[in-house]
Chain A
């Protein structure tokens, strides 16, 4: 489940405090520049964004197939917990995550609703994007071991699922971005399949 806004905000405040302290420390020890900037700072920026939308193109390499699968569409996020991925090409298809409910809609209109928390494989995937957009540090820390590198202008966050169940499918997720926008999501699956999504933010 996703924790409420309040604890998240509080820990962000704590994080901000820690960041400030780190900043003060930087002045004394410029050598540790990389440590002055952390997940809390990044997520605090995301937390200030109320909603966002973007276009994506996705390439999936699947072991079963001789050629990669290409698709493209739009991504929408609205605070606090709505994430929608609409695939337009090659065929219209929808994925809407709101709270715990995940609705998958196919081109022919057939839809399937499920509790996302009951399917860890899917949850591992969608929660990586949603909790980043929410700026929800506790949630992302609960699901993944997080490694963040780079600068606020060019960061790379490596997520390794904590749950054994989820690790059987998703080995690693790498999200890269610039400031409070996501630019690229790469998913490495346990069976060697891989998908790369390139994200182009709509001008706000």
Chain B
């Protein structure tokens, strides 16, 4: 007795110490919500580029802002006021709303350094002939309607280098529409702003602060009387929103599920103490799971968390089995000894199933695997070594026995449904076979937790703003910054050809913002010394109606450019072009990678063929440059992981079979245990896809969980019992456990986040089917026919 008490005391002490340790670990584990946490740990170099772009690229730092409502004038006024409040804030790298002031630093950089930046600066341009051509052009410009706006620059820039530069920056569209100098949507109902955050896209805390800053700036600017409101989209907005939403959904689901499960348990056990005790293993398991993931990965993803909370559904089962199967006059410890082998086998199957996911290179899956294994093992341990000690002396359940006969009656008639079940399973199989690979989502975005309406708003604002989205990149690498820039410059000629042939609408290049030192030196060399330039200009001006001294500023600026120090990355400090350069020229491993985004790619295949130099007409193969289709690349990546996950799931299923075979040591028992599971998985897959969902990796995880939970049901159904009364209790315990699982995942099915919704549906449906099919396919009569059905 004392020995047993001491042993129990140790159990409780270990549990409490574990709780404290886990609590500390969890408190220190940050929650992430960016999709890239679900991207590979050791990808190929191109995939690494993709991942970097998603995490940190210029696209990931954009916040698209729209001001809606109120009058047009109020909106443009608000746009100016908000922009003014945001400019200069260290959280904000750049604010653009169409106002010229926003381009001040950028404009100054381009203007001051135009002779070093412009690819049009060649020796020919500054000969008498070259200048003559430029001046004749200027004359035409002065005559045209645009001349009025552009002529101010002419005296200092007769060769129009600044136009060459700004044309490139603007692209074709000429930017968004404006009203009173402020960007508005094409239909004029929104004022638009574009904010580039200083923090990288994955730094959610900084992004959150930036979003709060924008909201406050807007509220201050609007005051209390305006009816305008603020709309924001972009990767950062989505990530922060998703994190909030996942947290909210996880909290809500767990509260609702806990309340419902608690209600069920209270109804069954009529004891608050027992209720608290039955939730104990699940709560401990969840905490331990989060702590383990935090320990193993440094962060825990919101999706893991949302998913894991519902693990409650499975781990609460252990306590239910224990309590429901404890008969009056027999201590809980004895029940435990009796059901322990079955419980152990059930947990082992789940652990084996999830264990395969640990090997996934998809870190999100590995997180889920670790979380589930730790959670289940800890929950079982708490059930085994902590619960019995905390149970009231001589505890036994009376009430479940009262509903047992009804359940027993149901179970007894269940086998009549064998034929229909087989028919439904075959039908489902046929449906799945007919659908083929179409049942699987093939796009990375299918994992995106962003609601569709938000994605549509984002697309609308992007269209209006002409903001870049992930498209096609030409990527080239070299050992040093200088060589990478030079490599990017060598691509200019082929890309110009492609633009002329209309295979692309245009391109951007880090070398346009910061040319290589070699190119800058060549441009300086192209500028003649002062006397020579003056002579050439005088000669070029012969017979043209320009005033002779009109171009004095040009002579001064050209000389300044000829002798100025070359531009370095530091020259860009204080401009938003710096951020652009940083996103297009990135360190990768030991070298540097230059990225050239291509605009308006209409025919990716033809483009790829041309770049590979296959029809080699007049375009040299772009040496060492790789064409990266970001969308395609990310989808390929996703398909690779889905394939891997599928393989792992099949291996996991195989391992579960093996385990069951070893434990049951009988082929017929094995078949009896596995059949309901297989049928439930098939029918669940068929019904989920028939409802219009495509299956993602997360559905796969859900199905694994179904197998884990379901194997408990089959094993318990198949287990020989000593007496019909015990049999009744077993049936009752399985039914209650199943109800709790269905409730746990059912609440998740109401989540607005597609992924959580999908998993919730899958497991709720699957778990219920497992139980029903186990009852239908069981070989054992639930109770002897001689047992009275009404007690």
Q: B-contacting residues of A (Cβ < 8 Å)? A: 1, 60, 62-67, 69, 71, 85, 87, 90-91, 93, 95, 100-101, 104, 106-107, 112-115, 117-122, 125-126, 163, 165, 169-170, 187, 189, 191, 193
Contact = CB atoms under 8 A, between A and B. Distances in A.
Contacts of B790: none
Contacts of B167: 112
A33 B547 CA distance: 49
B173 interface: yes
Contacts of B183: 118
A59 B547 CA distance: 18
Interface of B: 72, 98, 100, 139-140, 142-146, 148-149, 151-152, 154-155, 167, 170, 172-181, 183-184, 186, 188, 545-547, 550
B143 A1 contact: no
B188 A64 contact: no
SS class, residues of chain B in contact with chain A: mixed
A1 to B, nearest CB: 4
B464 to A, nearest CB: 11
SS class, residues of chain A in contact with chain B: mixed
A115 B146 contact: no
Contacts of B547: 63-66
A60 B100 contact: no
Given A67-B545, A163-B181, A122 B176 contact: no
A100 B179 CA distance: 10
A69 B148 contact: no
Nearest to A1: B188
A117 B179 contact: yes
Nearest to A120: B181
Given A1-B184, A95-B144, A121-B148, A115 B545 contact: no
B140 A93 contact: yes
Contacts of B100: 165
Contact of B146 (A62, A122, A189): A122
B149 A122 contact: yes
A106 B178 CA distance: 25
Given A114-B174, A169-B149, A66 B545 contact: yes
A115 B192 CA distance: 15
Contact of A170 (B140, B148, B155): B148
A102 B650 CA distance: 61
A1 B151 CA distance: 25
A165 B148 contact: no
A163 B100 CA distance: 13
A71 B140 CA distance: 10
Contact of B174 (A91, A106, A107, A118): A118
26 contacts: A1-B179, A62-B151, A64-B142, A65-B142, A65-B550, A67-B545, A69-B139, A85-B145, A87-B144, A93-B140, A95-B145, A106-B140, A106-B144, A113-B173, A113-B174, A114-B175, A115-B176, A118-B175, A122-B146, A125-B145, A125-B148, A165-B100, A169-B149, A169-B152, A170-B148, A187-B148
Contacts of B179: 1, 117
Nearest to A168: B152
B143 to A, nearest CB: 5
B173 A64 contact: no
A100 B177 contact: yes
Nearest to B142: A62
Nearest to B466: A115
A186 B375 CA distance: 82
A87 B141 CA distance: 13
B415 to A, nearest CB: 72
Nearest to A126: B145
Contacts of B175: 114-115, 118
B158 to A, nearest CB: 10
Contact of A104 (B146, B148, B172): B146
Nearest to B163: A112
A107 B188 CA distance: 34
Nearest to A113: B174
B180 A60 contact: no
A165 B99 CA distance: 10
Contact of A64 (B72, B155, B177): B155
Contacts of A93: 140, 143-144
Contacts of B145: 85, 95, 104, 122, 125-126
A187 B782 CA distance: 99
A69 B144 CA distance: 11
A71 B143 contact: yes
A111 to B, nearest CB: 11
B778 to A, nearest CB: 72
B177 A169 contact: no
A114 B150 CA distance: 14
Q: Which of A62, A71, A121 gathers most chain B CB within 10 Å?
A: A62
Contacts of A60: 142-143
B177 A118 contact: yes
B142 A118 contact: no
B98 A118 contact: yes
Given A65-B142, A119-B149, 11 more contacts: A87-B143, A91-B143, A106-B144, A113-B172, A114-B175, A118-B175, A118-B181, A126-B145, A165-B100, A165-B181, A189-B148
Nearest to B548: A66
Contacts of A69: 139, 142-143, 545
B541 to A, nearest CB: 11
Contact of A122 (B98, B148, B177, B550): B148
Nearest to A64: B550
Nearest to A143: B180
A63 B545 CA distance: 11
A104 B144 contact: yes
A91 B140 contact: yes
A196 B183 CA distance: 32
A64 B155 CA distance: 8
A142 B173 CA distance: 25
Top-4 shortest CB links A-B? A114-B174, A117-B178, A121-B149, A1-B188
B337 to A, nearest CB: 80
Contacts of A112: 146, 167, 174
A106 B188 CA distance: 30
